[in-house]
Structure 1
Amino acid sequence: MHKKEAIVHLLEKYQSGRLSAEEKQLLERWYLASLKAQPFQIEEDTSFDTLRAEIWEAIMHNVHPNNPVVYVRPYRWLSAVASVVTTFFIAALGYWLFFLNNNAVYITKTAAVEEVKKVMLPDSSIVWLNAQSTIKYKKDFADGRNVILEGEGYFEVKKDPSSPFKIESGDIETQVLGTSFNIKAFPRERSVDVIVKSGKVKVGKRGEDRVYYLVANDHLSYQTSSQISVEKTAADDAVAWASGRLQFTEKNLKEIAAVLSRWYGKEIIIIGNNLDKCIYTAVFDQNVRLEEVLDIISSVNNLTVKYDKEGKRVQISGKGC
């Protein structure tokens, strides 16, 4: 990807609310290199007028650093800029401002630690967000039924044959007409899991032609190494969290620790190579304290559980299975 294409791509991601912290820094560095001015922070709620004023002031300061900033009439704004910056910067800046001035408002919903948040979408579809998960979509579905999911969400999509429902989660895009399914896509886990409870969904990697059609109890797993597998699973177990349960069916201690860590917002460290061999089947109410859950799990295989003084880190050790 050429430099110009890369910058335009970042501007598009900023407009859609998908710009990461690292990408924001990259965009700011590009801005500094273009203007040789002081940086300003790109905030998610920055208005068009505010952003335009900041950029214009920086440009004028760079061209006439000892003179006060003089503002020109709005219809002459871009022509004035054209006289003081490079052609490339004008092209990219104009592209950016065009989208900022014409974009729809993005709605963002996030579930906190130990919370399952129910979200009613503009088309009356419903999504349950698991702890530490976020969903973004344009107000009133301005550009169609499209959402961006980071984390885990259980969807019940209202049927509308004329308007497919699309979910972007990392590299994976899931498309449905009306069904219920679960998507898990936590960035740190570097994987995406799609499990269908009812109906039929189409799943594929963005930018590729190959797609997978999933039906009830199908489980598609995608790893960032581009490995995709599909197998049968118990969908009811996978979506138990949406009903207030922490449910584990033949899961090893590492898998259980990952779920508990997200739900309770604690770092859980497992010490011992053989502990991954310990397999558990259990169901807990989500209102139960972490200490109670770990007491029960540790008693099965005589494991040792230690908590740090701040209560943010838990260590599990033992001989294993």
Structure 2
Amino acid sequence: MTQDRLDELIDKYAFGTISPEELLELLDWYHSAEIGTVEWPTEDIEEKDHLQKRMLLRLQAQIGAVGENPAVPARRRVFRLGAWQVAACLAIIFSSIWIARQYLDLTGRPAWVAVRNPTGKIQAIRLPDSSEVWLNAASAIRYSPDIGKGHDAPREVYLEGEGYFDVAEDPTHSFVVHAGSLTTTVLGTRFDVKSFSGEQLASVSVISGKVKVRDSARVLDVLTTARQLQVDARTGNSTTVTIDTSQVAGWRQGKLQFSGQTMEEITASLGRWYNIQFVFANPAISRCRYYLNFENTISLQQMLAALKETTDLSFQEDATHHTVTISGNGCN
């Protein structure tokens, strides 16, 4: 496993967005340390040996505390643990890897600052280089506290979800946003990046300036003002369109704005804001497109009433299970 992939899995676990398959991948990586095949985040032999011993000893001691014999190889036994034990072991694994990161920090490498937003909240963050970030609901970002201080080193941040960036100009330090499979590079501009785990479309929208967007294999496009790159996470196909910049990041001003998005995309955004899950009784409804505009200060019940009046659909809330079932005939 590459270091970038390991960092991605650790962050997803910390932010609560990791999938079951990715959890198994993280487990496999950690178990491989016991047979000497793990790729450690350092090339120094003594440092790696010390790091490995600290991590494995902590893991063995803690697994023993939840009823397992640490002297027995763990690769097969872990998958027989009960649900609470699996959760405990995963927490141990993450804390052990966190120890590794802290150890590396002591060698002179900067730690990461991580900020996570819950549902229903928008947060403004000022980075050490004076760039400003607005973090949308159910989104997370991490960055170095020394961002912009290294000699010619890029200013790198890692985003999960959606963020609006107003980047401070610095000709000697490019600004790089890593979001899922997309990497966006700029020198100074305002733009929005949206990449939520599990959603089909990711996008980069430029409000002013110019940005370069690439995936792991190639440059997808160089975007200028009022241009948006949309990437299908399932196929990898991308499309560039012209946008109304006033509506791209209306969420910063407390707006829930949707301009021709599908009901699936709309309910994904509303679900993050109201901490609710939407269920489609008729799957055809999810593909219908709507133009909607709400203030994010209205209650869930007020929003559902407005949706019903606007769309001719019915919305049944189940407060116990935090779900809303949408029924109707589909697109008119």
Query: Which residue is equivalent to 1:83?
Result: none
| Equivalent position of 1:298 in the other structure | 308
TM-score, structure 1 as length reference: 0.74
Asked if structure 2 preserves the Cα contact closer than 8 Å seen for 1:15 and 1:100, the reply is no
By how many angstroms is 1:291 displaced? 1.4
Give 1:130's aligned residue.
Answer: 136
For the residues of structure 2 that align with 1:185 and 1:98, how far apart are their CA atoms? 31
- CA shift for structure 1 position 229: 1.2
Q: 1:92 aligns to what?
A: none
Size of the alignment, in residue pairs? 268
Q: Secondary structure at the match of 1:189?
A: coil
- How many angstroms does 1:171 deviate by? 1.1
- Displacement of 1:281: 2.3
Aligned-pair distance for 1:173? 0.5
Matches within 5 A, 1:121-200: 121-141=127-147, 144-200=154-210
In structure 1, list runs of 5 or more residues that go unmatched: 1-5, 36-47, 60-64, 66-94
* Contact 2:229–2:239, Cα closer than 8 Å, also in 1: yes
Letter in 2 for 1:258: A
Deviations 1:103-127 (A, max 9, x none): 3110001111110011111101001
Letter of the 2:166 counterpart:
E
Contact 2:134/2:252 (<8 A) preserved: yes
For 1:220, which of 224, 229, 233 is the aligned residue? 229
Q: 1:198 to 1:28 in 2, by over 3 A?
A: same
What SS class does the counterpart of residue 188 from structure 1 fall into? Answer: coil
* Contact 2:33-2:52 within 8 A present in 1 as well: no
Structure 1 residue 53: Cα displacement: 3.5
What per-residue deviation string (whole Å, max 9, x for no partner) do you get for residues 148-192 of structure 1? 000000000001111100001111110001100000000111432
**Structure 1 segment 203-282 matched on structure 2, within 5 A:** 203-206=213-216, 208-224=217-233, 225-276=235-286, 278-282=288-292
Q: Deviations over 1:209-232 (max 9, x none)?
A: 434110111110112222111111
Q: Which residue of 1 aligns with 2:122?
A: 116
- Asked if residue 13 in structure 1 is aligned to residue 6 in structure 2, the reply is yes
Contact kept, 8 Å, 1:135 with 1:147, in 2: the verdict is yes
CA, structure 1 residues 11+197, in 2 after alignment: closer, same or farther (shift >3 Å)?
closer
Residues 1:49 and 1:314: Cα distance change in structure 2 (over 3 Å): farther
48-57 or 292-301: bigger deviation: 48-57
2:320 partner SS: coil
Give the aligned partner of residue 26 of structure 2: 24
Which protein shows a greater Rg?
1
SS in structure 1 opposite 2:164? strand
**Helix, strand or coil for the counterpart of 2:31?**
helix
Where 2:176 maps in the other structure, the secondary structure is: strand
Q: Any idea what the Cα deviations from partners look like across 1:209-260, whole Å, max 9, x if unmatched?
A: 4341101111101122221111111122121001111112233322221211
CA distance in 2, matches of 1:14, 1:253: 33
Q: 1:286 to 1:177 in 2, by over 3 A?
A: same
Equivalent pair of 1:132/1:151 in contact (CA under 8 Å): yes
Distance in 2 between residues matched to 1:264 and 1:189, nearest whole Å? 17
SS at the partner of 2:27?
Answer: helix
- In 2: Cα distance, 1:57 partner to 1:257 partner: 43
Note the alpha carbon deviations across 1:65-102, whole angstroms, 9 max, x for none: 7xxxxxxxxxxxxxxxxxxxxxxxxxxxxx99985653
4+ residue runs of structure 1 moved beyond 6 angstroms? 48-51, 95-98
**Contact 2:158–2:178, Cα closer than 8 Å, also in 1:** yes
Are 2:166 and 2:189, in contact at CA under 8 Å, matched by a contact in 1?
A: yes
Q: Give the CA deviation at 1:56.
A: 5.7
Instruction: Note if contact 2:261-2:289 (Cα within 8 Å) is conserved in structure 1.
Output: yes
Task: Indicate the SS of the match to 1:140.
Answer: coil
Same amino acid, percent of matched pairs:
27
1:165, 1:177 within 8 Å by CA — same for their partners in 2? yes
What is the aligned-residue RMSD (CA, Å)?
3.1
- Deviation (angstroms), 1:311: 5.0
Paired amino acid for 2:165? F
